[in-house]
Structure formats: structure tokens, C-alpha cells
């Protein structure tokens, strides 16, 4: 067993971890990032636990603090012009996020593994060490000295001691939960806030080859009110060629007994005695949309050399409100590990990148005490929107989605959903009710009240 000492240790090598390592190294720190590494069908060797991302909206690039021109061309798969939100009996088409952004289009879909590789290149070019295939088993912190020190026990049997630790192990939080429990008051646990089975959704997607005449290169499609569960919905996203990702997100552990009106959901059947699997949901969606003219299994074949396992992927998405970090202990939590990803919009890459960048820079410059206030300034508006929308639609049933989409279409036509919530005065009684409910919920989370575990609640 060997032992070494670094300035900054990063646990997890996804977008938050890679960007934390890059910024820490760029600001002069001796930094090492540990990533356990997983295989993918479309990657040579091990890499971060990459799941092909849904897409990148225009203003998300600004949140990441990148110039869109610097992102390599091979990362971008399809540029997007339109998003369709489909309800059981309604539909609305959006061509803008309604948020000012430098990127000239609505957004793009991208190749997650290539994006991750690019972030690794940036980190290594800055002087960071990325150790893929080495995981952290345990983290013990000592706050008895003049400055905190942290000892990381590795899967190799070696130990690393660090002045600062950045926890970026994603929504599964394999290290984060026990690491933070060291600083909780007696009898309390961070699992009360971030336990993966209750604080996450589960997502599943398949890579399917589409008939050329059905493949739309510049359009995302979401179906709302088709399957039960808080922020549960299927989607189709265009990849390269005529390959699309067909997927869904839904709560973990949901049963039919939890569904008030199962007969109202198009992707449930009277014969169901349990919630369908992700694969069954996808088959039902494709049958519903295209089954009259196409044979789903023949005309939409699974592309088995993609994804994590034979053209399929299953992965967690944080569906909870974020926590603050115990920065006085020299620890920052970034990205999905802290609860910044969102089941509502199926994305968290952008906030993971930004929080990682902030944590790495502040750790390298002995400014980690300011991490909680800085990340809230950087991504607070995005978190506030996501939390508010998720709360607003938590109990929606199919009729509710039709009502909302009909209202949006009547006001904005083909345009921006956020225009509805950005108007000083909405027209029509239905729009006024929706707007008022949104504003009230948003106001309740003002001044960072969307945080569910505050810095001052740690026993430090």
C-alpha cells in the first residue's frame, strides 16, 4: 500500500469532476481525479459513467461558461430548431427557450462520450491527473488540526491525503452519502435528503434506427400525460444518421397501486398487473405512434453497437432539490451528487460542468468557503425554474397536460413556452391561473430557499 498527498482530490470523473480537475489544475493546484470507469459499446476502454445526453439547449452552453465555437464539431450530432410537447389530445410546438443565449439555434443533441473525452483533454492539458479505473472506497476527514485533511482509500488499496475534496460521483452518490454523514448531527443522515431510491428518477433509453422518412434531424419530441408518475415522460431525440434515442424517465419503485386513474394513460393497458418496464413502454410508444403503417421491430431495429449494453442504457437522474456543501470542512459537492440535475427537463450536464468549474477554481485558490454562494449566483435561476416547474406539475394527470398545452398554444402560437411565464399580464383566465400558480411557487423558493440542506445545518 502506498500513500500520497495532493492539494485537491476529485471523486468522480463525469462532467462535474472533469471540470473541477481542469479548473483546479489551471489555478495551480496539484489535483487528481478518480473515476471508477465503465464500459460502453461505443467507447474503446473504460470511461466515466457516460449516458448519451438528451441534448443541449442554447442557454445551457452559457451556463457551462463555454463559447459554443470552442466545442469540437465531432461532439455535435444534430442542431435543433423545434421541440414538440405532445399531450394525449393536444400538442404545442416551441422554437425558442425564451432565454437570451449566444448560440444561434434552439440547441443540439451531442455525443456524450466525445464530450466527456474533450473535458478530459482539457483537464490533462491543464495539468490534472485523471485516473480512470480507480475508484474511491472510503473518505475519512480529520478536522482536528489547523486545516481539515481528508484521507481517501482507493480500490487499489492505496491512500491519498488531500487538503480539499470535491465530491462529483453523480446521482448514485456512492461516496458522497457516507462522506457527508461525518458532518451531520447525531442521529441524522444525508440519506434523508439524497437517498438514491427516493431522491432519483430512473431513466431508460434505446438506440433505434428510424425509417428515413420519419427521422427528423432538427426536432425533439416529448410526450406528457402518456405514462403515470411525477415528471414521467417518454421522448425521441435524433442522433447521427437516422439513429434516434427513444427513452423515458419515471419514479423509482412506482406501482400500479400508486396510480389514481390508470385507464387515462395511453401507455398503460387494462391487462397490466404492474408498471411496464422501460423497454415495454418504448415498444408501446412506437406502436402507438407508428404501428398503423410500420412494423416496430422490423422498421425500427435496435442498434446494438451503441449505449452501455447492446443499444440500451439505464441510468439515474436526480429528482430532488439541491444541498449546500460543508465547505468549512474543505469539501464541495458538485453536479448530480448535490442534486442539481433535473428529471423535469431530462438534463444536468450544463449545471454539472458549471458547479465543477466553480468548485475546482475555489479549492485551488483557498476560496472554497464561498462555494455555496457562488454556485447559487451562477445556476440559481436555472435551479429555481426547474424546482418550480417540477412542483407545479407534480400531480398532473393527462387532462392537466392537455389543458396546459392548449393554453400555451392559444397564447404563444408556435414559439416559446417561457413566454407564458415571462409576461407581465397573461391573457385569459386559464393562463392567469397557470401563471399565478407558477409565480407563487417560485416566490416560495426565493433567496435560495430551493436548497434542502443548508451549510449551517452541518455539525462542524
Tallying the residues shown for the chain, one arrives at 460
- CA–CA separation, 306 vs 326, rounded Å? 39
pLDDT band at residue 21, thresholds of 50, 70 and 90?
very high
What DSSP letter does each residue of 308-371 carry, written as one string? TBTTEEEEEEE-S--B---GGGTEEE-GGGGT--BTTTTB-HHHHHHHHHHHHHHHHTT-GGGH
pLDDT band at residue 304, thresholds of 50, 70 and 90?
very high
- C-beta neighbour count of 366 within 10 angstroms: 13
Mean pLDDT, residues 234-250: 95
Residues 6+ apart with CB under 8 A from 93: 82, 83, 84, 85, 414
Assigned C-alpha cell, 223: 410526450
Strand partners, 138: 153
Mean pLDDT, residues 385-395: 86
Strand partners, 160: 4, 152
- pLDDT for res 142: 95
Mean pLDDT, residues 49-73: 89
Structure-model confidence comparison of residues 275 and 49, the more confident one: 275
pLDDT band at residue 427, thresholds of 50, 70 and 90?
very low
pLDDT band at residue 379, thresholds of 50, 70 and 90?
very high
Instruction: Decide if pLDDT at 146 tops 70.
Output: yes
Question: Is pTM, for the whole model, over 0.75?
Answer: yes
Instruction: Decide if pLDDT at 422 tops 50.
Output: no
Instruction: Decide if pLDDT at 425 tops 60.
Output: no
Structure-model confidence comparison of residues 403 and 435, the more confident one: 403
- pLDDT for res 25: 98
Mean pLDDT, residues 26-43: 92
Mean pLDDT over all residues of the chain?
A: 90
Instruction: Decide if pLDDT at 424 tops 60.
Output: no
Mean pLDDT, residues 238-254: 94
- pLDDT for res 421: 40
Mean pLDDT, residues 80-108: 91
Listed by start position, the domains of the chain span 3-79+104-197+318-388
Assigned C-alpha cell, 167: 465530491
- C-beta neighbour count of 277 within 10 angstroms: 10
Name the fold adopted by 3-79+104-197+318-388: FAD/NAD(P)-binding domain (3.50.50)
- pLDDT for res 15: 95
Which of 46-55, 155-164, 397-406 shows the lowest mean pLDDT across its residues? 46-55
Structure-model confidence comparison of residues 29 and 421, the more confident one: 29
Mean pLDDT, residues 433-452: 85
Eight-state DSSP code of residue 151: E
Q: Are 369 and 28 in contact (CB under 8 A)?
A: no
pLDDT, tens digit, 9 for 90 and up, residues 167-220: 999 999 999 999 999 999 999 999 999 999 999 999 999 999 999 999 999 999
Which of 85-94, 177-186, 189-198, 369-378 shows the lowest mean pLDDT across its residues? 85-94
Cα separations (Å) of 298 from 52, 164, 209, 295?
A: 24, 53, 10, 5
- pLDDT for res 346: 57
- CA–CA separation, 437 vs 152, rounded Å? 46
- CA–CA separation, 149 vs 161, rounded Å? 7
Which of 138-142, 277-281, 346-350, 420-424 shows the lowest mean pLDDT across its residues? 420-424
Mean pLDDT, residues 384-404: 88
Instruction: Decide if pLDDT at 253 tops 80.
Output: yes
Amino acid at each position: 500500500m502506498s500513500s500520497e498527498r495532493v492539494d485537491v482530490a476529485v471523486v468522480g470523473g463525469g462532467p462535474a469532476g472533469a471540470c473541477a480537475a481542469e479548473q483546479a489544475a489551471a489555478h495551480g493546484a496539484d489535483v487528481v481525479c478518480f473515476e471508477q470507469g465503465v464500459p460502453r459499446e461505443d467507447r474503446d476502454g473504460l470511461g466515466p459513467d457516460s449516458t448519451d445526453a438528451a441534448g443541449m439547449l442554447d442557454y445551457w452552453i452559457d451556463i457551462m461558461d463555454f463559447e459554443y465555437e470552442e466545442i469540437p464539431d465531432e461532439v455535435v450530432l444534430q442542431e435543433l430548431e423545434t421541440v414538440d410537447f405532445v399531450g394525449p389530445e393536444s400538442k404545442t410546438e416551441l422554437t425558442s427557450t425564451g432565454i437570451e443565449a449566444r448560440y444561434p439555434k434552439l440547441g443540439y443533441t451531442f455525443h456524450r462520450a466525445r464530450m466527456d473525452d474533450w473535458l478530459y483533454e482539457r483537464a490533462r492539458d491543464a495539468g490534472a491527473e485523471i485516473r480512470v479505473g480507480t475508484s474511491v472506497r472510503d473518505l475519512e476527514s480529520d478536522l482536528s488540526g489547523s486545516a481539515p485533511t481528508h484521507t481517501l482509500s482507493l480500490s487499489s488499496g492505496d491512500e491519498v491525503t488531500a487538503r480539499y475534496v470535491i465530491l462529483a460521483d453523480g446521482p448514485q452518490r456512492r461516496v458522497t452519502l457516507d462522506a457527508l454523514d461525518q458532518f451531520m448531527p447525531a442521529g441524522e443522515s444525508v440519506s434523508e435528503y439524497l437517498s438514491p431510491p427516493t431522491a432519483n428518477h430512473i431513466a431508460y433509453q434505446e438506440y433505434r434506427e428510424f425509417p428515413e422518412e420519419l427521422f427528423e434531424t432538427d426536432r425533439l419530441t416529448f410526450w406528457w400525460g402518456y405514462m403515470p408518475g411525477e415528471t414521467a415522460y417518454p421522448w425521441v431525440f435524433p442522433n447521427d444518421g437516422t439513429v434516434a434515442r427513444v427513452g423515458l424517465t419515471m419514479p423509482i419503485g412506482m406501482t400500479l397501486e400508486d396510480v389514481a386513474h390508470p385507464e387515462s394513460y395511453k401507455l398503460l393497458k387494462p391487462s397490466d398487473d404492474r408498471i411496464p418496464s422501460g423497454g415495454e413502454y418504448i415498444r408501446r410508444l412506437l406502436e402507438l405512434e407508428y404501428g398503423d403503417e410500420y412494423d416496430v421491430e422490423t422498421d425500427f431495429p435496435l442498434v446494438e453497437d451503441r449505449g452501455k449494453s447492446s443499444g440500451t442504457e439505464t441510468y439515474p437522474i436526480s429528482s430532488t432539490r439541491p444541498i449546500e456543501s460543508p465547505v468549512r470542512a474543505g469539501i464541495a459537492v458538485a453536479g448530480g451528487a448535490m442534486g442539481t440535475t433535473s428529471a423535469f427537463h431530462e438534463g444536468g450536464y450544463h449545471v454539472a460542468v458549471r458547479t465543477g468549474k466553480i468548485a475546482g477554481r475555489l479549492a485551488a485558490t483557498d476560496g472554497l468557503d464561498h462555494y455555496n454562494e457562488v454556485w447559487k449566483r451562477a445556476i440559481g435561476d436555472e435551479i429555481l425554474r426547474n424546482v418550480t416547474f417540477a412542483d407545479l406539475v407534480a400531480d398532473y394527470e393527462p387532462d392537466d397536460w392537455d389543458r396546459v398545452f392548449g393554453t400555451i398554444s392559444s397564447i404563444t402560437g408556435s414559439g416559446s413556452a417561457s413566454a407564458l411565464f415571462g409576461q407581465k399580464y397573461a391573457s385569459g383566465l386559464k393562463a392567469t391561473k397557470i401563471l399565478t400558480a407558477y409565480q407563487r411557487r417560485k416566490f416560495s423558493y426565493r433567496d435560495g430557499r430551493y436548497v434542502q440542506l443548508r451549510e449551517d445545518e452541518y455539525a462542524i
